[in-house]
Amino acid sequence: MPVIGDVARLAGVSKATASRALSGRGYVADDTRQRVVAAASKIGYIVSPDAASLVTGRTKNVGVVIPFVNRWFFGEVLEGIERALLAAGYDLTLYNVAETGPERARVFDFFLARKRVDAVIAVGVDLSGHEVDALEHREKPLVCLGGSGGAAARLAVDDRAVGTLATEHLLHLGHTRIAHLAGAGALDHPASVAGQRRAGYLEAMTTAGITPAPSDIVETEMSTPDGYRAALQLLGHPNHRPTALFAASDEVAFGAMRAADRLGIAVPLDLSIVGVDGHEYAEMFDLTTIEQYPGEQGRLAVDVVLRLLGEGEVADPLPDSGAPLPTRLVVRASTTRAPR
């Protein structure tokens, strides 16, 4: 098996120069780098990540902490992260964490502490102060994409504004009986994504002079089956039935559309529905939604990680600028004017 010394002899350079040329760290003239790369290719030399990490202190591996792998939004984010990391020459180690419990504690206190990762990306995770401190103590850069917690580098849409915009769209159509299928934990965790979208809904309703009844807000997990069950509960009382519904995610909205169909409620003539996410099936369901772009969000998170690790050029906005990620309202056939 060829070693770095063989590459150096063939290229006519020192082993240190050959190592810098192949690792991409440290200055090497372009013609020298090309000569080293050609020599390595000719004899089939492959850079050892373990050996490189002994020199650079880097593993070229990023840990990704995510609460779900079987939901569309998180899958899209993960794909964006993976593509960007591979393009930058990094590996990915995935940790699927629960909301609470000993398994989650082991991820932060044991695996991320002992596993050799250069940085961590937390996607949609509400981090505790202890979890953030544990990573900072071990000098592992942390980038949060959504969720909540005390990390300095954070990327997120303005979920409160998203909730306000979705509700205002229904209000502008003349609806006053507007219900909300909120994400689980929205009331108890106001800083979470679900909590912020609920707050945006309430803000828009209050501004319009409308006080929703407690029964107008039903919490549910953000999946289609859970949205279906929650919508059956919400829509099953004809005397208190809303004319419009803001669902905290598109998958919840899909479930609500199926529940309305089962109950004989026409969408949008009897019930307007708006969701959040820009799911790949939203157009097929003709769903009005607040679009966001999870694949691009994953790529941006990797860009921030690389900047924190000192790779690439610093771009604007800076990681801690607080600039919200882009969203837009896409109006389709699931919303219309309130019935007379």
Give the tokens for residue 241.
């039935």
Q: What is the pLDDT of residue 289?
A: 98
Residues 126 and 164 in one domain: no
Residues 220 and 123 in one domain: no
Instruction: Check: CB of residue 11 under 8 Å from CB of residue 39.
Output: yes
Is 335 part of any domain? Answer: no
Residues 144 and 68 in one domain: yes
Residues 103 and 12 in one domain: no
Residues 277 and 300 in one domain: no
Strand order across the 217-220 sheet? 217-220, 178-183, 244-247, 272-277, 288-291, 328-330
Is 313 part of any domain? Answer: no
Residues 69 and 10 in one domain: no
Residues 99 and 30 in one domain: no
Q: What is the pLDDT of residue 183?
A: 97
Q: What is the pLDDT of residue 322?
A: 62
Among 3, 1, 2, 8, smallest CA distance to 37 is for: 8
Q: Which residues of the chain have pLDDT under 50?
A: 54-56, 315-318, 320
Residues 112 and 176 in one domain: no
* pLDDT tens per residue, range 60-109: 899 999 999 889 999 999 999 999 999 998 999 999 887 777 888 888 87
Query: Can you tell me which residue has the tokens 């029964």?
Result: 215
Is 197 part of any domain? Answer: yes
Q: Which domain holds residue 91?
A: 61-157+294-308
Q: At what angle do helices 15-23 and 30-43 cross, to 10 degrees?
A: 90
Residues 301 and 210 in one domain: no
User: How far is Cα 62 from Cα 91, in angstroms, rounded to an integer?
Assistant: 6
CATH number of the domain enclosing 32: 1.10.260.40
Choose the final residue of a domain: 56, 74, 98: 56
Q: What is the pLDDT of residue 206?
A: 98
Residues 193 and 149 in one domain: no
**DSSP structure class, residue 110:** I
Is 324 part of any domain? Answer: no
User: How far is Cα 269 from Cα 249, in angstroms, rounded to an integer?
Assistant: 21
Q: How many domains does the chain have?
A: 3
Residues 132 and 104 in one domain: yes
pTM: 0.81
Is 323 part of any domain? Answer: no
Residues 179 and 273 in one domain: yes
Q: What is the pLDDT of residue 26?
A: 62
Counting every residue written for the chain, the total comes to 340
Is 318 part of any domain? Answer: no
Angle at 292 between CA 233 and CA 133, to 5 degrees: 90
Is 314 part of any domain? Answer: no
CATH number of the domain enclosing 92: 3.40.50.2300
Q: What is the pLDDT of residue 178?
A: 98
Q: What is the pLDDT of residue 315?
A: 46
Is 172 part of any domain? Answer: yes
DSSP three-state, residue 319 = coil
